[in-house]
Amino acid sequence: MDDVSLKSDCAACSALCCVALAFDKSKLFAIDKAAGVACAHLGSGHGCTIHARLQSAGFQGCINYDCNGAGQRVTQVLFQGQSWQQNPALLAPMLAAFAGMRQVHERLLLLATAQNLPLSEAQKRRVYDLQAAMAAPEDWSAKDLAGFGQSETARAVQAFLKSLAPLLNRS
């Protein structure tokens, strides 16, 4: 798990969240944006042109969002730092990979959080095994990521987290 960060690093990403995610005009977002369409405020080089004034411009939702490290993992590990802005053909596969990797990193974060519970030795080992199943970068193909939500690993993580409910009720 040491080589997988669960904290977003926008400088190492290609602004995948600024394209992939949809948002509705609301208190959190000043405009509507459809999923898969680059935000009107996204500049070249994957930078947000209003980054310094996101809050005053009505984009608190962007400040709140964290991909849990999925974006930079897709950009740097799966696509070797390539840019969809320079090669638009990469956009669709990068967005598809990001959708799957977000699910992976959400589960990794839940497992990391679970480590704060008073786990038994067997439960600690299970956390380690499940993290390992999702940590190795070379294990992820586009097909694996697309099917991750229905995978045995995803089901195993869900079942394990559910099994920890008694610990939550105790605390």
Residues at the interface with ligand SF4 (CB under 6 A): 18, 39, 41-42, 48, 50, 59, 62
**CA nearest neighbour of 35 among 127, 123, 102, 133:** 102
Residue 126 Cα to chain centre, angstroms = 22
Least Å distance between CB 65 and ligand SF4?
8
Residue 39 or 94 with smaller CB distance to ligand SF4: 39
- As measured in angstroms, the least distance from the Cβ of 46 to ligand SF4 is 9
Q: Which is nearer to ligand SF4, 17 or 114 (CB)?
A: 17
Element (H, E) at 159: helix 152-163
Q: Which is nearer to ligand SF4, 4 or 62 (CB)?
A: 62
Minimum CB–partner distance for residue 22 and ligand SF4 (Å): 10
**In this structure, what DSSP letter does residue 37 have?**
S
| Terminal-residue alpha carbon distance, the chain | 26
